[in-house]
Amino acid sequence: MASDRAPEAPSPLSGPGLDPTTIERHKDAAARAAAELVQDGMRVGLGTGSTVAHLLSALGERAEELQNARCVATSPATAQIAKDLGLTVEELDDVGELDIAIDGADQVDPDGWLVKGGGGAHTREKIVAASARLFVVIVSAEKEVGRLGPPVPVEVLRFGVDHTLAALGDARPRDIAASPDGNLIADYLGPVDDPHALAERLSGTPGVVEHGLFAPEMVSEIFVAGADGVRRRAGGKR
């Protein structure tokens, strides 16, 4: 589902040798645990990415039971998969406030800051997360990092893109990645020592539509799946 992924920041907590099959199993475990929060009749925001693909499978298996659930997708790919699985997908503005939104992340730091946007959908994901009473993040344990690092995805208007990238400084446009809304996705490659200050700087750069830093206050709970099962971390959203 993601395109032209930039490499993720090395995780000091992941340890060596986690094979892709194990990571997929962990993503599935986190997704299935969070899927249990979804009940019939709920308005549900669906994120984007490979972890969300597991969530969609879990919800799809319950499509009959969830026939009155109203889903909002953060990307065309998610919308298509959800519909194919028998889930009802509507536009955010037709649904209104969401009961819950569930999404993956590229990095999670000890304070609960997230980096998102590996799939280039972070602008829609942020809007959907902010529209939800509960925002639940699902990750495999290697996404937990001691400290956030580059790349931080940034959605940029095509108009004046060279100026915007120059203003951002250390940023590289992705070869083929465009956001679901036709904008360019670039990766900010500078340091992320102070996520709050960086988020303000990125937001304040003309031409930037949205960046992939999600503050802890946006997140209700983080489901982290690893070798010891699924751990639930409280987020900063009250």
Q: Which residues are catalytic?
A: 125
As given in the structure block, the two tokens for residue 164 are: 């915007």
- Which CB atom, from 99 or from 187, has the smaller least distance to ligand 5RP? 187
Name which position in 122, 126, 211, 237 contacts ligand 5RP (CB under 6 A): 122
Distances (CA, A) of 89 to 63, 72, 145: 12, 6, 33
Encode burial over 58-95: b for 16+ CB neighbours within 10 A, e otherwise. Answer: bbbebeeebeebbbbbbbebbbebbeebebebeebeeb
Q: Which is nearer to ligand 5RP, 104 or 235 (CB)?
A: 104
Question: Taking Cα atoms as reference points, which of 229, 220, 214 lies closest to residue 106?
Answer: 214
Report, in Å, the least distance between residue 71 CB and ligand 5RP. 16
Which 65-104 residues touch ligand 5RP, going by CB under 6 A? Answer: 103-104
Q: Binding string, 23-52, against ligand 5RP, x = CB under 6 A?
A: ------------------------xxxxx-
- Map the footprint of ligand 5RP across residues 102-121, applying CB under 6 A: 103-106, 116-121
CB 85 within 8 Å of CB 59 = yes
Interface with ligand 5RP (CB under 6 A): 2, 47-51, 103-106, 116-122, 125
